[in-house]
Amino acid sequence: MLKRLLTSREALLAAAIILLLAVISTRFPAFVSPQNLGNVFNDTSPLILLAIGQMIVILTKCIDLSVAANLALTGMVLAMLNVAMPGLPVPIIIAIAISLGAVLGMVNGILVWKLAIPPIVVTLGTMTIFRGLIFVISDGKWVNSHEIGEGFKAFTRAAFLGLPTMSWIAILAVLLFSIVMARTTLGRSFYAAGGNPHAATYAGIDVGRTQFWAFTISGALAGLTGYLWVSRYAVAYVDLAGGFELDVVAACVIGGVAIMGGIGTVMGAMLGALFLGVIKNALPVVDISPFWQLAISGGAIIIAVALNSQANREKGRIILKRAEHAT
Amino acid sequence: MLMQSETDLSGPSDDTAVPVIALNGVTKLFPGVKALSEVSLHLYPGQVTALVGENGAGKSTVVKILTGIYQPDGGTITLDGTPFAFPTPQAAGVAGVTAIHQETVLFDELSVAENIFLGHAPRSRLGLIDTAAMVDQAAGILRDIGAAIDPAHKLKDLGIANKHLVAIARALSIDARVVIMDEPTAALSQNEIEELYTLVETLKAQGKAILFISHKFDEIFRIADRYSVFRDGELVGDGEISAVTEAELVKMMVGRDVSQIFPTRTPQIGDEVLAVKGYTHPTEFADITFDLHRGEILGFYGLVGAGRSEFMQALFGITRRSGGTATINGASVSIRSPADAVANGIVYVPEDRGRQGAIGALPIFQNVTLPSLGRTSRSGFLRLAEEFKLAREYTERLDLRAASLDTPVGNLSGGNQQKVVIAKWLATQPKVIILDEPTKGVDIGSKAAVHAFMAELAAQGLAVIMVSSEIPEVLGMSDRVIVMREGRMAAELGADEMTPETLVRHAAGITGTPPC
For A242-283, the pLDDT digits (tens) are 989 999 999 999 998 988 889 999 999 999 999 999 988 888
**In Å, how far is A205's CA from the nearest CA of chain B?**
7
Instruction: Report how far apart the first and last C-alpha atoms of chain A are (Å, whole number).
Output: 30
* DSSP letter, residue B373: T
Report the residue of A213, A263, A265, A327 to disrupt the B interface, i.e. the one with the largest count of B CBs within 10 Å.
A327
User: B235: Cβ–Cβ under 8 A, 6 or more apart, which residues?
Assistant: B38, B39, B40, B41, B228, B229
Q: Report whether A211 contacts A200 (CB < 8 A).
A: no
Pairwise CA distance, residues B66 & B147, whole Å: 27
For B97-128, the pLDDT digits (tens) are 888 875 556 788 888 998 888 877 888 888 88
Closest CB to B373: pick one of A185, A322, A326.
Answer: A185
- β-partners of residue B34 are B29
pLDDT at residue A283, as a whole number: 81
Q: Under the phi-then-psi rule, with left for phi > 0, alpha for psi from -120 to 50, and beta for the rest, what region is A212?
A: alpha
- β-partners of residue B212 are B50, B181
Higher pLDDT, B231 or A102: A102
Q: Report whether B225 contacts B48 (CB < 8 A).
A: yes
Residue B98's Cβ-side half-sphere holds a number of Cα atoms within 13 Å equal to 21
Question: E strand or H helix at B98, and its extent?
Answer: strand B97-100
Q: Is B1 on the interface with A (CB under 8 A)?
A: no
**In Å, how far is B151's CA from the nearest CA of chain A?**
33
pLDDT at residue B130, as a whole number: 87
Question: E strand or H helix at B26, and its extent?
Answer: strand B21-30
Closest CB to A262: pick one of B233, B361, B371.
Answer: B361
pLDDT at residue B256, as a whole number: 55
Residue among B332, B333, B299, B335 at smallest CA distance from B317: B335
* DSSP letter, residue A143: B
Higher pLDDT, B74 or B17: B74
pLDDT at residue B515, as a whole number: 41
Distances (CA, A) of A93 to A152, A178, B30: 8, 25, 65
Pairwise CA distance, residues A210 & A217, whole Å: 11
Pairwise CA distance, residues A321 & A319, whole Å: 5
* DSSP letter, residue B5: -
Q: Report whether B315 contacts B279 (CB < 8 A).
A: yes
Instruction: Report how far apart the first and last C-alpha atoms of chain B are (Å, whole number).
Output: 57
Question: E strand or H helix at A45, and its extent?
Answer: helix A34-59
Indicate yes or no: CB of B32 within 8 angstroms of CB of A320.
Answer: yes
**In Å, how far is A276's CA from the nearest CA of chain B?**
27
Q: Report whether A17 contacts A274 (CB < 8 A).
A: yes
Pairwise CA distance, residues B326 & B270, whole Å: 18
* DSSP letter, residue A236: B
Q: Report whether B263 contacts B452 (CB < 8 A).
A: yes
Q: Which residues of A touch B55 (CB under 8 A)?
A: 326
Q: Report whether A272 contacts A13 (CB < 8 A).
A: yes
Angle at A151 between CA A147 and CA A152, to 5 degrees: 60
pLDDT band at B34 (very low <50, low <70, confident <90, very high): confident
Query: What residues of chain A score a pLDDT lower than 70?
Result: 1-7, 308-327
Q: Report whether B314 contacts B323 (CB < 8 A).
A: no
pLDDT at residue B404, as a whole number: 86
Pairwise CA distance, residues A157 & B104, whole Å: 63
pLDDT at residue A217, as a whole number: 98
Indicate yes or no: CB of A203 within 8 angstroms of CB of B424.
Answer: yes
pLDDT at residue A168, as a whole number: 95
Please compute the mean of the pLDDT values over residues B208-219 and round it to a whole number: 85
How do the residues of chain A divide into helix, strand and coil, expressed in percent and rounded to 5? 80, 0, 20
CATH numbers and ranges of domains, chain A: 11-23+35-326 (1.10.3470)
User: B55: Cβ–Cβ under 8 A, 6 or more apart, which residues?
Assistant: A326, B442, B443, B446
Indicate yes or no: CB of B356 within 8 angstroms of CB of A196.
Answer: yes
Q: Is B69 on the interface with A (CB under 8 A)?
A: no
Mean pLDDT of chain B: 83
Between helices A165-183 and A185-195, what is the axis angle to 10°?
Answer: 70
Q: Which residues of B touch A204 (CB under 8 A)?
A: 337-339, 341-343, 371
pLDDT at residue A5, as a whole number: 55
Q: Burial, A125: exposed, middle or buried (Cβ in 10 Å; 0-12, 13-18, 19+)?
A: middle
Pairwise CA distance, residues B273 & B292, whole Å: 6
Query: Taking CB atoms and an 8 Å cut-off, how many pairs form between chains A and B?
Result: 110
**Beta strand B82-84 pairing with B297-302:** unpaired
pLDDT at residue A314, as a whole number: 45
**Which chain B residue lies closest to A186 (C-alpha atoms)?**
B380
Indicate yes or no: CB of A262 within 8 angstroms of CB of B342.
Answer: no
Is B17 a residue whose pLDDT tops 50?
A: yes
Higher pLDDT, A314 or B303: B303
Distances (CA, A) of A75 to A72, A136, A207, B262: 5, 14, 31, 69
CA dihedral A158, A160, A164, A165 (to 10 degrees): -80
Closest CB to B380: pick one of A184, A192, A323.
Answer: A184
Q: Output the DSSP codes for A73-104.
A: HHHHHHHHHHHH-TT--HHHHHHHHHHHHHHH
Among residues of chain B, what percentage have pLDDT more than 70?
89
